[in-house]
Amino acid sequence: MQQLLKTGQKMKNVFLQQREKSLGEVRRIGLIADSHGDFERTELAAAALLAAGAERLIHLGDFCDTLQESSWITTMQVLQRHRMLTVKGNNDFQVETLLNERRPGQDQAEAELRAYLKSLQTTIVMDGLCFAHSLPYDSLRSFYEPVDDGTTVKASKIFHQTAHHIIFCGHSHTPVLFRWRNEKVTREEIPRDKTFPMKDSERYIVVVGAVANNDCALYDREAACYRRIRLD
């Protein structure tokens, strides 16, 4: 894989993010977050999710890590190869800022990374679902401030300020679920490799967990269920 994804390799067509209005007929969504430059584990997660039936892969941000410059391009190439929809995380924003402060060079792969980072959105909203790195807003604060602080305070505020049925996010590296039911919010652990239903009468905020820590997840829209998948 390292040879295939060699840093500096030219790509004929850069998959830049576009604002999509609907998931269409996609039933199963594979969810990945917080790679932090670990392109090998990101590739493993993509393979595991595709094997589990994912028809679309979505990355919830921080595919880059400001301290892992040698992996920026390589990790982007994994996302490109799988045509993952991706939202911008705080590390991605910081890398974009660092690159903007440099004089552009002649390296094609770096030019593609610059264009790719610029194209990323802070949120993707489709069909009642919101995908974000952390808070579901279009602001700098949204990908720096965690949803999960060990309480339900922030989650309760988000439920009252938004209308999304489900928000999927990353940033916090430990998987956790917030459930809104009958005007009450609970914070719940997400067991590994267990499928649980997501009801129309309830609303959810799901912190997927970091792929750098071997976590990813599968959401089945038709069956309305979610499963945390461990890579170890």
Instruction: Give the tens place of pLDDT for each residue, 43-89.
Output: 999 999 999 999 999 999 999 999 999 999 999 999 999 999 999 99
| pLDDT tens digits, 83-113 | 999 999 999 999 999 999 988 877 889 999 9
| Residue 14 Rama label (left phi>0; alpha psi -120 to 50; beta) | beta
For the stretch 135-182, pLDDT in tens is 999 888 898 999 999 999 999 999 999 999 999 999 999 999 999 999
